[in-house]
Structure 1
Amino acid sequence: MSDSLFTGIHYIRIPVVSLSESVSWYSECLQFTLKFNRGDLAVLSLEEGPLFVLVEADENSRAHFFKNGEPEFSVGLTTANIHRLYDYLVDQDVQVEPIQEDEGHQFFHFYDPSGNKLQVHN
C-alpha cells in the first residue's frame, strides 16, 4: 500500500461560454475524444492523462489566471511534433502565440473559442 494520499488527477474542469461550440472545437479541431455530453457539461479525453470536463459557465469565466496583468495558462498539454501542431492550429484559425524555447524546451500558447489560454510543449 502506498503512503500517498492521492493516486492521480482524475479530471480538469474548463469553463466555456458555449458548450456545443466548445465540444465541437475540442473534438473536431483538437481531436479530443468525446465521452459524453449531458447538456451542461461534457467529458472529453486524450490518449493519456486526466479527463477534460467542459462546463458551460458565465461569460467572463476563464480557466487561466493573471500575473502582472497578463493571462497565465492553467492547463499544459504535450505533443510529439510541436511545429506540425502549431502549423495545424494556424491553418484552423486558432489564436496562437509564437513558439518559444527555454533551455531546449519548446512551447507555445493558444486560446480556445471561450478565450481560455492553454499551453502545449514537446
Structure 2
Amino acid sequence: MSDPLFTGIHYFRIPVTDLNESVTWYSECLQFKLKFNRGDLALFEIGDGSLLVLVEADTDSRGHFTKDGQAEFSVGFTTPDIERLYDHLVSNDVRVEAIQEDDGHQFFHFYDPTGNKLQVHN
C-alpha cells in the first residue's frame, strides 16, 4: 500500500460575528491557546496541536449546516473528562445540550457566542 495522500487536518475555520468577543470566549471559557489575533481572524492551538481559526464573518454566517431543519455540527472536539467539561460550560452559562451516549462513548453539543453548534466526545 502506498503512503497516504493526507496525514491529517491542519485547521478548521469557524465564522464568528464578533471576533474580540469570540477570542475572549475561546481563550477563557474553552481555554484554547491563542497563537495570534490579526484583527480579522484569530488562530488557536488546541491540546493536540490542531489549529482552530476564527474568522470575522457576516452576521448570518455559521459554521454548521442544517439537516431536516435542524442544526448539525461541523467541528467535533475530544475531552478526557466529559462530565467535568460539561459542568464547566454550564457554570460559564454556555448553551449546552444533554450528554448522550452512543456505541460506548459519550458526547454533547454546545454553542459558541455566535451560535455555532459544536460537539465534544470522550
**Alpha-carbon deviation of 1:49?**
4.5
Q: Which residue of structure 2 aligns with residue 6 of structure 1? A: 6
What is the alpha-carbon distance in structure 1 between the residues aligned to residue 63 and residue 91 of structure 2? 24
Equivalent residues, number: 121
Structure 2 matches for 1:18-29, cutoff 5 A? 18-29=18-29
Show CA shifts across 1:55-106 (max 9, x none): 0000010000000000000000000110111011000000000000112210
Structure 2 portions without partners, runs of 5+? none
CA RMSD of aligned residues (A): 1.0
Show CA shifts across 1:13-35 (max 9, x none): 00000000000000010000000
Q: Which residue of structure 1 aligns with residue 69 of structure 2? A: 69
1:105 equivalent to 2:83? Answer no
TM-score, normalising length from structure 1? Answer: 0.96
What is the alpha-carbon distance in structure 2 between the residues aligned to residue 80 and residue 7 of structure 1? 23
Percent identical residues: 73
Q: Which residue of structure 1 aligns with residue 17 of structure 2? A: 17
What is the alpha-carbon distance in structure 1 between the residues aligned to residue 18 and residue 88 of structure 2? 23
**Alpha-carbon deviation of 1:3?**
2.8
What is the alpha-carbon distance in structure 2 between the residues aligned to residue 104 and residue 15 of structure 1? 32
Paired residue secondary structure (1:94): coil
